[in-house]
Structure 1
């Protein structure tokens, strides 16, 4: 980055105060971007970023963080209904939609043609009738990465997964590991990010573990993870995109505390107080064990349903603890040391599952409440 020397009075009026430290910035391929404004919604960073997977869980938060400071965001989309809410995350003209087909090379090229930064968040941990996990995690990633190379974009950030390993017993982890190798082969300067299981309002962690009264698993929910707040991951991705020192690096973004699935369920149901019992089967936080092959068979039968259900690979992932790559960089290398702990924000995300009567526990009697209302009426 290049800082311009200006008069103090001018700098006081026009200095840009978002993630950028200067109002003049030069990208790795020599393009000069001018930042305008105080860093708010009506400011402009001068940068253009493409976010593949912007309508997904992490993508919507990343898009919001980029757009709120005036970075022009290109959002490739397939489903018109799923991308509309992203328009209001930025000022007029900031969030721009480009229709694309994951198998149409021209539409992918059009999506990255004018961008300084390309974030690839596309991935799937389940198969559909149109795309297998290998298609989504390897095939689409390869096409996007080749398009970025041909366009000569200054930065490419690929969001992989924790436990990504081409030799994994899980199809999802294996395809993500293969995709990482492809990305490194095509663009060695790519930045690879491996987030831990993320929690938030629309997540696949709390919404998977919380609402279920009974869970039949192969290991009594003993899987160990380092859950991380989606807002922290989005903040890290924003910083990575604008920081050229992250080029060619691999980041493991994980939470500060290791927890098992069973411990997370205990935390959730300690708030919701939903300890239902069916017949002779006690609650036990879902710690009921069945043979893994039986669970995979049942999960495979569920795939014939129209809606998304637990799949066999998800059962396999229950048996694989999260492993942290000691060679990878972390939040600390980005200067982010104040990441959230799950226990500190859990109530915000699970309070909606509580029965309304729970909120009245410990409240004053009706007579005392009536007296209080009368006093407040006359004060």
Structure 2
């Protein structure tokens, strides 16, 4: 026992030296105890934050959870499908990822998911309507319900993710409900941060990979619709950076660096996949809408009627607020497209 004591003291000194803290490790949240980070950077660190990410099983949510967990944050994972939640198991150290089943209409489950959190992200959304969930029930009622419960539970920060084209005057019901949801969230949680990203691209996205499989649906409007695509990793990093900013109320726009047309993107996909340009005809809007309505009888429609409307709407031309979240300009789509499209080459 006596011989082992110097080793024990050495271990204690090593722990103390590695656990030194400085002023930059302290983040003070209004109405909450200070959040103090400790430990070496990476999965084994402790950021001091407990975060709930609603909509975590979606495209953006998976990357956000990965970023947060890598910072040493304990992340609450509300899920509906057990199979979709399994992807999060290796993303964090033991005890960092806490999975909890929930339903967007169940207030007690929502309260249970966020009652220990100091930051709540709401990434819930739907690209098309189903018999169980329409746009209003998710983008408006669901968002308002989460904001109300977060305010009642004393949550310090609420980050609500909307869309760059959210507008009450938009012909798209998707964009209309996104705008209405923003207003409901701000009424329930006045200091909420509203984030409006552009169209996302990345692994398993619904932009580049969809163009490689179904180019005909992207020729609507003769491919002249203008969008501002942004890398999903850049948006996920911007959202993760908000954990180190005590308060940032208002609306942040996170568009891509360039304005591109669908025609240009189709040419980019063809050049990377080494395939000849598609000879599929340009469908009139009325025909595309009729086909999309017929596809609603299928469990996973190829294109919804509202998506047809969105294919004719240009992305708004606004300056990005990347500097406010501690980032420079996001990546150009040409720098990453080959990573996601190489698998579509015939050889």
Shared fold by TM > 0.5?
A: yes
Residue 122 of structure 2 contacts residue 143 of structure 2 at CA under 8 Å; is this kept in 1?
Answer: yes
Is 1:163 aligned to residue 165 of structure 2?
yes
Residue 31 of structure 2 contacts residue 156 of structure 2 at CA under 8 Å; is this kept in 1?
Answer: yes
> 2:340 maps to which residue?
349
The Cα shift of 1:99 comes to 1.0
Indicate the structure (1 or 2) with the bigger Cα radius of gyration.
Answer: 1
Rounded to whole Å, the distance in 2 between the matches of 1:294 and 1:77 is: 37
The Cα shift of 1:236 comes to 0.3
**Number of aligned pairs?**
334
Rounded to whole Å, the distance in 2 between the matches of 1:347 and 1:89 is: 25
Rounded to whole Å, the distance in 2 between the matches of 1:174 and 1:166 is: 5
Rounded to whole Å, the distance in 2 between the matches of 1:97 and 1:39 is: 23
The Cα shift of 1:253 comes to 0.5
Residue 67 of structure 1 contacts residue 94 of structure 1 at CA under 8 Å; is this kept in 2?
Answer: yes
Is 1:255 aligned to residue 256 of structure 2?
yes
Residue 51 of structure 2 contacts residue 76 of structure 2 at CA under 8 Å; is this kept in 1?
Answer: yes
> 1:74 maps to which residue?
76
Segments of structure 2 that go 5 or more residues without pairing to the other structure are: 1-13
Residue 217 of structure 1 contacts residue 295 of structure 1 at CA under 8 Å; is this kept in 2?
Answer: no
| SS of residue matched to 1:42 | coil
Rounded to whole Å, the distance in 1 between the matches of 2:215 and 2:21 is: 50
From 288, 309, 317, the equivalent of 2:302 is: 309
The Cα shift of 1:213 comes to 4.7
The Cα shift of 1:15 comes to 5.0
| SS of residue matched to 1:111 | helix
Equivalences for 1:79-98 in 2 at 5 Å?
79-98=81-100
Rounded to whole Å, the distance in 1 between the matches of 2:199 and 2:94 is: 33
The Cα shift of 1:121 comes to 0.1
> 1:275 maps to which residue?
276
> 1:289 maps to which residue?
282
Residue 292 of structure 2 contacts residue 301 of structure 2 at CA under 8 Å; is this kept in 1?
Answer: no
TM-score (norm 2): 0.91
Rounded to whole Å, the distance in 1 between the matches of 2:291 and 2:100 is: 40
> 1:336 maps to which residue?
327
Which of the pair has the greater relative contact order for Cα pairs under 8 Å at 6+ separation? 2
- Please identify runs of 4+ aligned residues in structure 1 that moved more than 6 A: 9-12
> 1:6 maps to which residue?
none
- Name the CA shift for 1:16/1:348 in 2 (closer, same or farther; >3 Å): farther
| Deviations 1:334-372, CA, capped at 9 Å, x for gaps | 23114211101111110000011xxxxxxxxxxxxxxxx
| Deviations 1:272-296, CA, capped at 9 Å, x for gaps | 12227xxxxxx35x5x433312211
Rounded to whole Å, the distance in 1 between the matches of 2:196 and 2:218 is: 28
How large is the Cα RMSD of the aligned pairs? 2.0
Rounded to whole Å, the distance in 1 between the matches of 2:170 and 2:17 is: 54
